[in-house]
Amino acid sequence: MPAPTLLTVVLNWRTPDMTLRAVEAALREMQGMAGALTVVDNASGDGSFEAISRAVAERGWDSAPVPVRVIQSERNGGFGAGNNVGIRAGLPGGARPDYVYILNSDAFPDPGSIRALLEHLQTHPATGFAGSYIHGDDGEPHRTAFRFPSVAGEFEAAIRFGPVSKLLKNHIVAQSIPETTVRVDWLAGASLMMRQDVLDRIGLFDETFFLYFEETDLCRRAALAGFPTDYVRESEVTHIGSVSTGMKQWRRMPAYWFDSRWHYFTKNHGLAYTIAATVALAVGGLLWRARLLVQKKDRGDAPYFLRDLIRHHTRRLFRRPAPPPVIAPQPGE
């Protein structure tokens, strides 16, 4: 029986040096595997594509046993769209891989991490996706295992009140960090392996999402098709985090986060549910802020978060639909 083939996709946006570090770590962990690695430059426009291409050639990675190629997206369509470019390209020559592994440009697979994901999917044919235990370069674990968002989950996350969390424990979105391999609703896409058969069935990332909620949506589609997601504790990956997005320096939540949230809820649950989830988040957030008047605690949200949320979603709610295109009559009609 031939060895399974694996395509690793690393998406770069203006972090060429770090991307090369991620590629080097991934190549080390892919030794002895059949497959290839593709770097997608997401239209960085800063010389990243040229710098990465040159480094790959100088290091001989383009002719290595696990060959590396660098391709450029025509546009920066975000995380999902960029990864889709690499997935659609397939293996060198256009061959279809058995598995696809997406790895952030600021994530570095620890020893045995990629093989652990691959072996897990091979020995659990009912599982669609498998992801890693993620920790920072300081060794601190990151929360990357989640439940699907819900009205109750939005309220619990916003109110930050122990008795409410206890009551709604089965709806908490950000799960406690699992200590063993376990089934989850969805995983962050910093280190996520996917069965190509499942992608062929459900489709790739929804490119309406620019950033955030795209993994949530993809894992949900896989789960609805009967292919759940597993968190594989034996697979460990070091992740710096927020290097490309600059999230740690955000002064306010960007509009695309609100766009992604709105699209996720309306697509998967409809308008009425979206409104209910937004009201739950806003009410929970207001109650939390009322507590802050008497308690010295960190607000925990970006500045103006509730104001921006309500303003953005109100605009989306009352935005007029685009008029149908005017089709000019053709000769003879």
Same domain, 209 and 254: no
- Quick check: 328 pLDDT over 50? no
Of 247, 269, 286, the residue that ends a domain is 247
Across the range 253-274, mean pLDDT stands at 97
The answer to whether position 168 is within a domain reads no
Those residues whose C-beta lies under 8 Å from the C-beta of residue 168, and which sit 6 or more positions away, are 152, 153, 155, 156
**pTM confidence score:** 0.92
Instruction: Give CA–CA dist 317/235, Å, rounded.
Output: 42
Same domain, 290 and 231: no
Across the range 249-275, mean pLDDT stands at 93
CA distances to 4, 184, 265 from 213, in Å: 29, 16, 10
In sequence order, what DSSP letters do the residues of 52-93 get, joined into one string?
HHHHHHHTTGGGSSS-EEEEE-SS---HHHHHHHHHHH-SGG
Pairing of strands 129-135, 191-195: antiparallel
Q: Which of 220, 301, 209 is nearest to 257 (CA)?
A: 209
> In which region does residue 183 sit, left (phi positive, over 0), alpha (psi from -120 to 50) or beta (all else)?
beta
**CATH number of the domain bearing residue 235:** 3.90.550.10
Contact 258, 212 (CB under 8 A): no
**What tens digit of pLDDT does each residue of 290-317 get?**
999 888 777 778 899 999 999 999 999 9
The answer to whether position 202 is within a domain reads yes
Across the range 134-162, mean pLDDT stands at 97
Instruction: Give CA–CA dist 56/22, Å, rounded.
Output: 13
Of 200, 227, 247, the residue that ends a domain is 247
Those residues whose C-beta lies under 8 Å from the C-beta of residue 302, and which sit 6 or more positions away, are 250, 251, 252, 253
- Quick check: 324 pLDDT over 50? no
**What tens digit of pLDDT does each residue of 101-122 get?**
999 999 999 999 999 999 999 9
Same domain, 257 and 204: no
Contact 130, 100 (CB under 8 A): no
Same domain, 124 and 270: no
Across the range 221-249, mean pLDDT stands at 85
pLDDT band at 333 (very low <50, low <70, confident <90, very high): very low
Same domain, 233 and 254: no
Residue percentage of the chain with pLDDT more than 70: 93
What's the token pair of residue 331? 């000769």
Across the range 191-219, mean pLDDT stands at 98
Same domain, 297 and 181: no
pLDDT band at 326 (very low <50, low <70, confident <90, very high): very low
Contact 145, 175 (CB under 8 A): yes
**What tens digit of pLDDT does each residue of 72-96 get?**
999 999 999 999 999 999 999 989 9
- Quick check: 322 pLDDT over 50? no
Of 193, 223, 247, the residue that ends a domain is 247
The answer to whether position 158 is within a domain reads no
Same domain, 257 and 234: no
Same domain, 133 and 278: no
Same domain, 241 and 260: no
Element (H, E) at 5: strand 5-12
The answer to whether position 190 is within a domain reads yes
User: What rounded mean pLDDT belongs to the chain?
Assistant: 93
**What tens digit of pLDDT does each residue of 231-240 get?**
999 999 999 9
What was the pLDDT predicted at 321? 53
The answer to whether position 153 is within a domain reads no
Domain residue limits at 60: 5-142+177-247
Same domain, 262 and 204: no
In sequence order, what DSSP letters do the residues of 113-176 get, joined into one string?
HHHHHHHHHHH-TT--EEEEEEE-TTS-B---EEPPP-HHHHHHHHH--HHHHHHTGGG-SBPP
The answer to whether position 331 is within a domain reads no
End-to-end CA distance of the chain: 60
**Total number of domains in the chain:** 2
Instruction: Give CA–CA dist 37/289, Å, rounded.
Output: 47
What was the pLDDT predicted at 296? 78
Same domain, 128 and 276: no
Residue type, 203: G
